[in-house]
Amino acid sequence: MTPIFVSAEEVARLLPYSECIPLMREAMIALSEGRTRQLLRGIIDLPQGRAFGVMPGAMLDDGTFGAKLVSVYPENFAKGGSSHQGVVALFDPETGAPSAILEAGEITAIRTAAASAAATDTLARADARRLAVLGYGEQAWRHVAAIREVRDLEIVTIWGRSAERANAFAARVRDTGLDATVADDAASAVAGADIICTVSAAPEPILLGAWVADGAHVNAVGSSRAGPIEIDDALVLRARFFADHKEGVLAQGAEFLHAKAAGLIGDDHVLGEIGEVMAGHIAGRTGDGDVTLYKSLGSIVQDLAAARHIVGKLRRTSAPRT
């Protein structure tokens, strides 16, 4: 079997949020029920703040397995390019041969936001309407697009360090028909918000627990490794804290590790994985006043589920291609 190659444009066409959000829900349930295998993300630091990551894994239900290889070049965003670039490689479960190579940047962008939307649908109040986004990059845009699939948003409030970029992002959101405004500071942005997404590259906290309203849900997405932290210890301590992958968060979840190192929490502060909540095995929100938090590191099973879906659609609808 000659591997097929799937471009970023094809990924975007074949993986709409309406399909990816339920895929992420299924993948996270499978992970939490032990129907997947994955190693912790391997990261090689490169000069100038760059990195190279490797994420291998397998889906046991149908034998799908593969890996994502991705480079992180943060400076690309300022140049109008993607900071995350790479490939997702799938292998044939029957023969072990490589079967597909997919552009990873678009898969990562879509599945990350779709997973947050699935977590939001699981943990946020049913009447949540006000979204605050701290950041204005690729994931900020993706999160607005995905979360509006699961909640009827009334307004999006945006904050970022560059007022010019924040205003440009708000204008882009308004072009989709959503009301969007720019706040002068992060505290004002999240005041009264029902859903908060931190999607920045901040090395130090930009969201403090004291600013978050009772009943809010937080998606902490920007930090995907031990080191940079977007939210403070007070918010970690206050929230009902759920991981995408508990083993990963205990080892590489920067905000959790910072609060643990300060002696404020232990491992049991991670109440469980979002897949366990989705499957009904553990409680998520217990009352309207709870602050809930989904810590996203990203998981290879999300990439594999998305890639398998895309390749399946291509094989069902297209002539053989390379």
Q: Is CATH 3.30.1780.10 the classification given to domain 4-108+301-317?
A: yes
Nearest to 42 by CA among 26, 56, 53, 28: 53
- Torsion over CA of 239, 245, 250 and 255, rounded to 10 degrees? -50
Whether the CB-CB separation of 185 and 134 falls below 8 Å is answered with no
Q: What is the pLDDT of residue 49?
A: 87
Q: What is the pLDDT of residues 264-311, one digit of tens each?
A: 999 999 999 999 999 999 999 999 999 999 999 999 999 999 999 999
Quickly list H helices, the chain: 8-14, 17-32, 104-123, 138-147, 163-174, 186-190, 233-238, 246-252, 254-261, 274-278, 300-317
Across the chain, what does the average pLDDT equal? Answer: 94
The residue with greater pLDDT, 140 or 319, is 140
Q: What is the pLDDT of residues 182-217, one digit of tens each?
A: 999 999 999 999 999 999 988 899 999 999 999 999
Query: Any idea which fold 116-299 has?
Result: Rossmann fold (3.40.50)
Whole-prediction pTM value? 0.93
Residue with token string 């609808």: 317
Whether the CB-CB separation of 162 and 140 falls below 8 Å is answered with no
Domain ranges of the chain: 4-108+301-317, 116-299
